[in-house]
A and B are shown apart, each in its own frame.
Chain A
């Protein structure tokens, strides 16, 4: 199989744009990045199967049909994205309602461990005194 150049370029652009939005702190922006990235991945999966006539028996000879398997996977992915979008939007709203912004804050526990590392201390999980 030879790859389709349009797909390859669009996949690259979707990944780049998605990642650049994903690496920010605003939750709505992260969500949009996820959607773009998801579109890129869906296209990547679609590229793995050949294009052709709709995979409906009787519509076209089987040899001319598009590969149905990537389509099945993508269909599942699209609908799950809907659920995830709803959840993250609710999270963004709640964050805004409670903290006045929808930014993802640093994890407190991770900060504590960083401080321990700077002070060259152990976690004290097993105190060996």
Chain B
């Protein structure tokens, strides 16, 4: 069974490509996929098959598939009709229709979802397939997205069925949580909940089932869904998807039969839908809409049969289900052919088609005969059983007779409307339709004979399922002797004929729209829209300060309430770990406060930097040398970056906020500070469990092969974090470059600049100041930085490799190397930078990421986990004993990425901004010269 689902998925995904390559005829090949599902079901007639594959073991959700008798029937219908309709689509769409590939893909995806739905034994899996059919239905209804009506209809169907589906999910969860399993076969085997709990679950599930099957009050979405292409309507909105709700009622029926609410909701809603749908069908002029309302009516009948909870009614439902699928799909395809041949579906404009398209007329007549319940067609078998099932309940029986009478009437209306000669209407001149278009509906209509002639065989397969319902035994069959059912069948035919005749005499059929349901839906959607606009307009002013302030206010409110109500207040407090912390802390706090007050960019930047160095001191005092080292280096790099950009920006921050908003801002700021301090105060005593890090020292030495716990953890225990982090760095570097280099400049400026200086023969080592730019700079500084550069780089490499056992590591090493490049740039500008690092920054970043990822994958290929490290001990002749952890390779990647980031920053925020500034002042000077000339 899983194979069938995989087959559908593969076919759906490859359909667009295949159709593009092979044209419309590919659809015949693709039709084999749903046909295979049907054939598989046929080959396993009478068997109960089940398969289980683990899917989400943590949630006890398994891909549990099970084919019982009802699923068997559905699979035959879904697969068989799917194949026929897909083959029909090949000719229905014009050759080379650009949207056909998408249609075929979505269609097959739907067929697969429907197959999964009927085969699911796990309720969660069933829900997933259920919603998949909704999504595919949405895509098919909205097949022509440029039409507003199609978009609206698609959205309507989606909203209505998804809302019902969500209610159903709640019902499923209630059942599953009570039973401790979501497998339906196990839930029914165990003890079901009782009373109100079960009734609530039943009604919630019904909300999903009834909305899917377009039962009152959810009926309105189905006629709108006729915006879909006719093959999609025939398959989804007549034969398969709308049957899903009815199928679910039939599947769960045996377990819910005793729940009063289950029976009354289904029977009452079904009867109302059947009558309203039949009535509305008589009013329509569009043949497709007549069929759509007829489908609604028939779904009502099916709901009554499956929901009634008796053995006879259930068998009637199954027989009606298969007969309806066959005759309704056939009729839709007939209407599709008519539409194709004449360009209209309006029965007031069609006349005389019966003579011109006899084969089509035969197909339609057979289908309508089945719908009307004439022997020996499938519809007759179902209707007989339905009448027999409700023999003891006169009210329901009366409703069934009325509904069936309407069915006969609108069936005749379709036949008359499509094929009859109408004296006052011009004869239609259809373009000829080939056998490829007329064949499928004829095939489906003739197939209506099979369940009729083989009714007893069908009965044999369905009997085990039907027996789960209570009630006296009944067997499907063509002939049960003269009795009430046969009498009623005759009455129904007479009634239908007279309704049809009466309708023909009147010009207009009395108005009876689906009461208010659709306008209620519109009003709800309108209200949701309005509410969304109001809420969005109120909360999202589009102003960043406002949005941030909103978030902070929420933080303050929730934080205050939590602290006031339930925070674990610590018993005592220490002033400090060492008095030096007070000094460093005071520096950090004072610089932060002064920075917040500063109005000059440079002042604020320096104060923030001072605070950063103060943080580094706090780290040292805390016992975190690696943090301190990294903080020092990062702070230095940050100051350089700020300087590079701020020298181009105005000295003062622009417009000050108004006084009023300044007050609000400060209140929010002080409140955030107080809450943060309060949380810090309370959180410390909240730590009661043993920290996870107690094992880190042992792990670092035995698994990581190093003694510096922090650095070993970065490349080993928490290597995934580091992997994420270096990815962020690469993204940030790329972002910086793309923001600074304009698109056209980007390629030219970046690729030529490093190599450009090399082709000049290079400035030569220690020979500084031979470029015009460099003449403005200190030659002594340039020479000194060149002398120091290699030493610093060497030191950075030392830090990289010693990091495993002492402070250092890839980050610190990379930053030191980056700062070495920075000094070269600051001393000599772009030429010096290019001489020091004659490579593209992107190349460094990419190599670093490749090494980091590669080391992780290598561990996996070697049989370990991703990023697992191994320890290698080597004895080399000269170097002696070498102890090496493979995580050092990962650290090299980190090192390169940090170097690449700094290099990218220097190229972008440094060299490129220099270039622009020079270009800008040069052009200013040029215009100045022009002015002087003019004056002279």
Contacts and interface: CB of A to CB of B under 8 A. Distances in A.
Given A10-B588, A39-B611, A72-B714, A3 B697 contact: no
A8 B684 CA distance: 10
Contacts of A51: 577, 621-623
A123 B525 CA distance: 11
Report the contact-size class of chain B (Cβ under 8 Å from the partner).
35 or more
Interface in B885-936: 898, 901, 905, 908-909, 913, 916
B657 A24 contact: yes
Given A43-B615, A82-B901, A93-B913, A108 B542 contact: yes
Given A6-B585, A26-B654, A56-B805, A32 B619 contact: no
Interface string B183-204: 0000000000000000000000
A16 B655 CA distance: 21
Contacts of B909: 86, 89-90, 93
B713 A94 contact: no
Interface string B704-725: 0001111001100010011001
Nearest to B535: A117
Contacts of A8: 573, 677, 680-681
A121 B533 contact: yes
Contacts of A104: 544
A91 B739 contact: yes
Contact of A79 (B576, B693, B898): B898
Interface residues of A, number: 104
B573 to A, nearest CB: 5
Contact of A81 (B634, B691, B807): B634
Contacts of A48: 683-684, 687
B637 interface: yes
Which among B545, B644, B645, B718 has the greatest number of chain A C-beta atoms within 10 A?
B645
A49 B544 contact: no
A65 to B, nearest CB: 7
B604 A6 contact: no
Contacts of A116: 533, 537
Contacts of B676: 11-12, 15, 40, 44
A107 to B, nearest CB: 4
Interface string A31-70: 0110110011011101111011111111100100111110
Contact of B713 (A7, A65, A68): A68
Contact of B729 (A19, A79, A108): A79
Which among A90, A110, A127 has the greatest number of chain B C-beta atoms within 10 A?
A90
Contact of B576 (A5, A13, A16, A42): A5
Given A16-B672, A71-B627, A76-B725, A94 B739 contact: yes
A95 B800 CA distance: 37
B653 A90 contact: no
Interface in B504-546: 522, 525-526, 529-530, 532-534, 536-538, 540-545
Given A10-B585, A12-B674, A25 B544 contact: yes
A102 to B, nearest CB: 7
A86 B736 contact: yes
A6 B691 contact: no
Contacts of B645: 28, 89-90, 92-93
B356 interface: no
Given A51-B623, A75-B811, A29 B713 contact: no
A67 B626 contact: no
A82 B637 contact: yes
A74 B627 contact: yes
A6 to B, nearest CB: 4
Nearest to B523: A128
20 contacts: A10-B585, A17-B595, A20-B669, A21-B595, A23-B669, A24-B657, A32-B604, A36-B595, A47-B683, A56-B708, A66-B622, A67-B693, A75-B710, A79-B634, A90-B908, A93-B645, A102-B649, A113-B533, A114-B537, A116-B537
Interface of A: 1-26, 28-30, 32-33, 35-36, 39-40, 42-44, 46-49, 51-59, 62, 65-69, 71-76, 78-87, 89-94, 96-97, 101-104, 106-111, 113-114, 116-118, 120-123, 125-128
Given A6-B581, A114-B537, 15 more contacts: A2-B571, A2-B685, A9-B589, A12-B673, A23-B549, A24-B665, A25-B544, A32-B605, A39-B588, A43-B618, A89-B641, A90-B739, A93-B648, A106-B543, A109-B542
Closest 3 CB pairs of A and B: A110-B542, A16-B673, A117-B537
